[in-house]
Amino acid sequence: MKKKIWKYLTLLRVGILEEMQFRLGAVTKLFGNIIYLIIIYFLWKAIFAGAPTEVVNGMTFEDTMIYLVLASALFYTMEMYVTWDMGRRIKSGDIVVDFLRPMGYIKFQVLSLSGNTIVSAVTSLLPTMIIVYLITGGGFALSCNLLFFTAAIMIGTVLNYFINFFVGTICFYTESIWGINIMKEVIVLLLSGASIPLAFFPETLQKVVYYLPFQAIYNTPLKLLIDNSLSLQSRMSMLGLQLFWTVVVGCISYAFFKISVRRITVNGG
Amino acid sequence: MNKELKKRGLRFYASIYFKIIAQDFKSKMSYRADFIISMLGMILTNISGFVTFYIMFQNFETINGWNYYEMLFLYGFSLIALTPMQCLFDNNWNLRYAVYDGSFIKYCFRPINIFFYFISEVFDVKGLGQLLMGSLTLGYAWHNLGLQMTVGKAFLLVAALLTGSLFMIAIMNLAAATCFWLVNSGFVMVTMFKFTEYARYPVTIFQGIFRGLFTFVIPIAFVAYYPSYIFLRPGLPVLTCLSPLFGIFFFWVSYRVWMLGASRYSGTGN
C-alpha cells in the first residue's frame, strides 16, 4: 500500500516537473490569455452598453466579466492535449509503449495530468483569482465556497480527462485527428458555458445543457465559487451531479477503450 | 511582382500549380473518411459561431449599434474572406516544421519561386466547408436586411471579399514567416489565428489604442468591417476606399518578409 502511494506521488511529481520545464509555454499561455481578456472586455462592454437595463438575465457587466475571466483562467488550467496525443500516438504506433508500462494507461495519464494541472492552478488560476478579487473588491466570498471550488476543480479535471480520453479513443477508428479534435473543442467550449455564461442561453437550450456532462467541467466550479445564494444542500447536489457524470463518462470511456484496443493495428514490425 | 514570376510568365505558374495540387488531391482522396470528418468539423465550428450570435441576440438587441442580421453579415463575410487563406495558404502551418527539421531545403533547389512552390503544395479542402457556411450566412443576412442585388453590387462584393482575403493571407504569411527567425514560433501563428476570429466584430467596439492596434498593426478590422461597410451603412469611410490598396500593399510586404526569411535560411546541419 505504502509502495503504491509512493509510486503515485512520484508520477504526480513528474507531471509537475514536466509542466515547469515548459516555461515558454506558460508565458505564451499568459500572453494569449491577456489578449483574449482584453478582447472580451471590450466586446461585452459594447454588448452591455446597448442593453436597456443594467442587469441582463440576472447578470451585470461586472458579474459577466468575473465569470468569463475566471472561466478563461480555469480553461487554461484544465487544458489538456490528451486527444491530440492519443491520436498521434495511435497513428504512429507509439501507443503500444504506453500499454507496456507496469501501470494502467488511464491511471498513468490521470496522475501525470494532475501534476500539470496543479502547476497551472498555482501559476495561472490563483494569480487570476487574486487579481479579480482585488479589482472587484471582493467579487466572490472567501469562505467554504473555496473548498467547494477546489473539490469541483479536481472532479472537473478528471471528468474533462475522461471526455478527452473518450474522443481520443475514437482515433483508433479514424486517422482524422484534426476533425475529431475540432469537433470536441467546439462542443465542449460552447456547451460548458466557457465562452458564454449559461445564464444567457435560451431556456430550452439551458435545460438541454444541464442534462449534458459538459457544464460540469467549468460551470459547476465557477458557480460554486461565485454564487453566494446557493444553499449547502444545492452545493452538495451540484458536486454529486459532477461526480455522477465523472463516473458515468469514466465507465463508458473505459469500456469503449477496452473494446477499441483490440482493433489496434500498428504499421511496421 | 517578383522578377522570376515575370520571367516565367503566369501561364507557366498556373500550369505548374494545377500539377502540384493534383498530387495533393490524389494523396488526400486516399483518406476519404478524414476528408468527411474534417469537413464536418469545419462546418460544426462555423455553426457554433452562428449559435453564439443567436444566443447573444436572445439577450441583447444590438451590439454597438449593429443588429442581428448586420452582425451575421459581418460573420458570413469574414468566413468567406477566410476561405482563400484556409484553402490555398494552409501550408504555412507546416512551414515551421519544414524549417526546423531541414526539409525546407528542397524548396530552395527548384528553379521556381520558393513562396509559390511551398504554398501550392497543399490545398485544404475543408476550407470549402467554411465557404459554404459563409455563403449561406451572408445570403441569409443579405436577404433579411432587404439589400438589393445588382451587377454593380455583385462586383463590389467580390472586390470587397478579395480585399478582406488579402489581409487575412498577409497576416498569416507574416505570422508563419516568424519561424525563420524564432525557433519556437508556433504560438505566433496560433495567437494570430485567434485574432482573426474577432474579425467578425465591428472594430468600433474597441477603444483607444486597441482600435489603432486592430486597424493598423494587426489589421483584422480590414478583414470584414471596413470592406463590408459599404453594404451596411450609408457613407464611405476613407479607410474603406483605401482598403484594396492597403490590402495589396500589405500582402506584398508579407510576401517580401517571407522571402527575406527564406533567403536567410541556411538549412540544418551540413
Is B115 part of a structural domain of the chain? Answer: yes
B40: which chain A residues are within 8 Å (Cβ-Cβ)?
Answer: 179, 183
Tell me: the pLDDT tens digits for B152-185? 899 999 999 999 999 999 999 999 998 888 876 7
B38: which chain A residues are within 8 Å (Cβ-Cβ)?
Answer: 176, 178-179, 182
Best CA proximity match to A265, nearest among A103, A92, A102, A98: A92
Q: The C-alpha cell of B211 is what?
A: 482600435
Distances in Å between the alpha carbon of A70 and those of A120, B134, B150?
A: 13, 32, 48
Of B34, B58, B198, the CB nearest to A174: B34
Distances in Å between the alpha carbon of B261 and those of A176, B114, B233?
A: 32, 11, 41
**What does the pLDDT read at residue A9?**
81
Angle, vertex CA B230, rays to CA B209 and CA B85, nearest 5: 70
Is B186 part of a structural domain of the chain? Answer: yes
Q: Do A35 and B191 count as a contact with CB atoms less than 8 A apart?
A: yes
B205: which chain A residues are within 8 Å (Cβ-Cβ)?
Answer: 42-43, 45-46
Say whether pLDDT at B257 is over 90: yes
Distance from CA of A197 to the nearest CA of B (A): 10
- In order, the DSSP letters of B145-195 are TT----HHHHHHHHHHHHHHHHHHHHHHHHHHHGGGT-SSTHHHHHHHHHH
Is B270 part of a structural domain of the chain? Answer: no
**What does the pLDDT read at residue A266?**
61
Long-range CB contacts for residues B15-20, cutoff 8 Å, separation at least 24: B16/B112, B16/B120, B17/B116, B17/B120, B20/B117, B20/B120, B20/B121
Is B170 part of a structural domain of the chain? Answer: yes
Tell me: the pLDDT tens digits for B11-68? 888 888 888 888 888 877 777 788 888 889 999 999 999 999 999 888 888 888 899 9
**What does the pLDDT read at residue B6?**
55
Of B38, B60, B62, the CB nearest to A176: B38
* Domain region containing B176: 3-264
Is B123 part of a structural domain of the chain? Answer: yes
Q: What is the pLDDT along chain A (269 residues), one digit of tens a residue?
A: 677 788 778 878 877 777 776 666 667 767 777 888 888 899 899 888 888 888 888 888 988 999 999 998 898 888 888 888 888 888 788 888 888 887 788 888 888 888 888 888 888 888 888 888 888 887 788 888 899 999 999 999 999 999 999 999 988 888 788 888 899 999 998 999 888 899 899 999 999 998 899 999 999 999 999 888 888 899 999 999 999 999 999 999 999 999 988 877 665 54
Q: Do A42 and B210 count as a contact with CB atoms less than 8 A apart?
A: yes
Of B37, B42, B60, the CB nearest to A47: B60
The CA distance from B79 to B74, in Å, is 9
Tell me: the pLDDT tens digits for B198-254? 889 999 899 889 899 999 988 999 999 999 998 988 878 888 888 999 999 999 999
B210: which chain A residues are within 8 Å (Cβ-Cβ)?
Answer: 38, 42
**What does the pLDDT read at residue A269?**
42
Distances in Å between the alpha carbon of B239 and those of B66, B79, B265?
A: 19, 21, 36
Chain B interface with A: residues with Cβ < 8 Å: 31, 33-34, 37-42, 44-45, 48, 51-52, 55-56, 58-65, 126, 184, 187, 190-191, 194-195, 198, 201, 204-207, 210
Distance from CA of A17 to the nearest CA of B (A): 20
A181: which chain B residues are within 8 Å (Cβ-Cβ)?
Answer: 41
Q: Which amino acid is at B74?
A: L
Give chain A as a 3 state SS string.
CHHHHHHHHHHHHHHHHHHHHCHHHHHHHHHHHHHHHHHHHHHHHHHHHCCCCCCECCECHHHHHHHHHHHHHHHHHHCCCHHHHHHHHHHHCCHHHHHCCCCCHHHHHHHHHHHHHHHHHHHHHHHHHHHHHHHHCCCCCCCCHHHHHHHHHHHHHHHHHHHHHHHHHHCCCCCCHHHHHHHHHHHHHHHCCCCCCHHHCCHHHHHHHHCCCCHHHHHHHHHHHHCCCCCHHHHHHHHHHHHHHHHHHHHHHHHHHHHHHCCCCCCCC
Is B101 part of a structural domain of the chain? Answer: yes
**What does the pLDDT read at residue A104?**
83
Distance from CA of A6 to the nearest CA of B (A): 36
Asked if B116 and B3 touch (Cβ cutoff 8 Å), the reply is: no
Q: Do A183 and B207 count as a contact with CB atoms less than 8 A apart?
A: no
B194 vs B88 pLDDT, higher one: B88
Tell me: the pLDDT tens digits for B123-159? 888 888 899 999 999 999 999 998 888 898 999 999 9
Chain A interface with B: residues with Cβ < 8 Å: 24, 28, 31-32, 35-36, 38-39, 42-43, 45-52, 56-57, 174-176, 178-183, 186-187, 189-190, 195-196, 200-202, 205
The owner of cell 487544458 is: A79
Q: For residue B7, what pLDDT band results from cuts at 50, 70 and 90?
A: low
Is B269 part of a structural domain of the chain? Answer: no
CA B270 to chain centre: 36
Q: Do B65 and A50 count as a contact with CB atoms less than 8 A apart?
A: yes
Mutation to test the A interface, candidates B28, B48, B185, most A Cβ within 10 Å: B48
Say whether pLDDT at B189 is over 60: yes
ipTM of the complex: 0.81
Q: Do B187 and A32 count as a contact with CB atoms less than 8 A apart?
A: yes
Q: Do B37 and A180 count as a contact with CB atoms less than 8 A apart?
A: yes
**Count: domains in chain B:** 1
B191: nearest CA partner in chain A: A32
User: With pLDDT > 90 as the criterion, what percentage of chain B qualifies?
Assistant: 41
Q: Do A186 and B41 count as a contact with CB atoms less than 8 A apart?
A: yes
Of A36, A47, A178, the CB nearest to B56: A47
Is B64 part of a structural domain of the chain? Answer: yes
B209: nearest CA partner in chain A: A38
The CA distance from A218 to A241, in Å, is 13
Average pLDDT in chain B:
87
